[in-house]
Amino acid sequence: MPSQTFESYYQSIRQRQKRESLLWSIGILIVYFYSGYLSEFSLSVVWQGIPHFFDYLSDILPTLHLPVLFADGHTKGSFAYWGYRLNIQIPLLGQTIAIAIAATLFSSLMATFASFPASNNTQIHWSLRYSLRSIAAFCRTMPELAWAVMFVMAFGVGPIPGFFALFLHSFGCQTKLFYETVEVASDKPVRGLRALGASRLMRMRYGLWPQVAPTFMSYTFMRLETNFRQSTILGLVGGGGIGQELMTSIKLDHYDQVSIVLIQIILVVSLLDFISGKLRHRLLKEMSV
């Protein structure tokens, strides 16, 4: 086709790409400005608010004086004075971690059982499939704080309502991730097993499960991080854990306590992040072998 030179061909492709990117940019800008309008975004308020934000950040910094840094809890400016509520906060933090672990494990277990009937390649009747999927969609769309309010109203204040709230929310999320994993698994082993006369349950157990198990594990570790972060806010509505402490500190302006709780949360999140990253890395390595 010598009718077209390379230059003109290149230009035509490039023109099309430019046109598309221009259209997208305009579209995104319109959505962006309209959503800014909806959410009452105004630069002047942000501009006035930024100093307040940094004021707040400097307010929550503890007052530490170098000479008395390691003095006892009654001297202002020492570490002990800053952390005088640590004996209350650390058990609460432990409770938060316990809620997160309990909710993650149980929701992953339940989602494992729910995901096989919910995926479209396990020859399960469509009515079961769609009802499981809509239950999962409902569970994950209802915000975890709404679940928490509901369970706190039913069971009273404490970590158990927090556990149920977090469990239902993450069950919804995990089920979706899990059945999507099952759906992309190869069906060759399943067909082989079918030819050997394996039952439907056996096909799932020996044909699909070995393919999806490592991915399920990796999603579970990821969920643990998310759940820990979300369980820190369950306390806002009475769901137990460190959130209660944090909210009282913010509302009552116990500035130095806000910073110490935030530091504890960040430390645990980073630690969990690190551990789960390492575990997932090992898992992926084992998978590729």
Partner 1 sequence: MINHSNTISTSERSNNERQYAAIYASRRRHMVITFSLGLIILFYYIFFFYFNGLTPEQMFQGLDKLGQYFARMFIWRNVSQWPFGYYFTQIAVTLGIVFAGTFTATLLALPLSFLASRRVMNTFVLASISVVIRRLFDIMRGIDMAIWGMIFIRAVGMGPLAGVMAIFIQDTGLLGKLYAESHDAVDKRPSRGLSALGANHLQKHRFGIFTQSFPQFLALTLYQIESNTRSAAVLGFVGAGGIGLVYAENMRLWNWDVVMFITLVLVLLVMLMDKASELLRKKYIIGEDIPLFNQPTQHTEK
Q: Taking CB under 8 A as the criterion, which residues in 195-234 touch partner 1?
A: 196-198, 202, 206, 229-230, 232-233
Distance CA(30)–CA(42), nearest Å, equals 16
Residue 174, phi then psi, degrees to nearest 5? -65, -40
Between 154 and 289, CB nearer to partner 1: 154
Provide CB contacts within 8 A for 160, sequence distance 6+: 151, 240
Between 78 and 96, CB nearer to partner 1: 96
Among 140, 170, 185, 220, indicate the residue that binds partner 1 (CB under 8 A): 140
Query: Residue 246, interface with partner 1 (CB under 8 A)?
Result: yes
CB of 34 to partner 1, least distance (A): 7
Q: Read out DSSP for 101-149?
A: HHHHHHHHHHHHHHHHHHSTTS---HHHHHHHHHHHHHHHHS-HHHHHH
CB of 72 to partner 1, least distance (A): 30
Query: Residue 159, interface with partner 1 (CB under 8 A)?
Result: yes
CB of 86 to partner 1, least distance (A): 19
First to last CA, the chain: 48
Query: Residue 193, interface with partner 1 (CB under 8 A)?
Result: yes
Between 56 and 113, CB nearer to partner 1: 56
**CA dist 255 to 82, 88, 96, 248, Å?**
10, 17, 22, 11
Between 182 and 225, CB nearer to partner 1: 225
CA 17 centroid distance within chain: 36
Between 69 and 266, CB nearer to partner 1: 266
Name residues contacting partner 1, limited to 11-30 (CB under 8 A): 13, 28
Q: Which residue has the tokens 């501009």?
A: 47
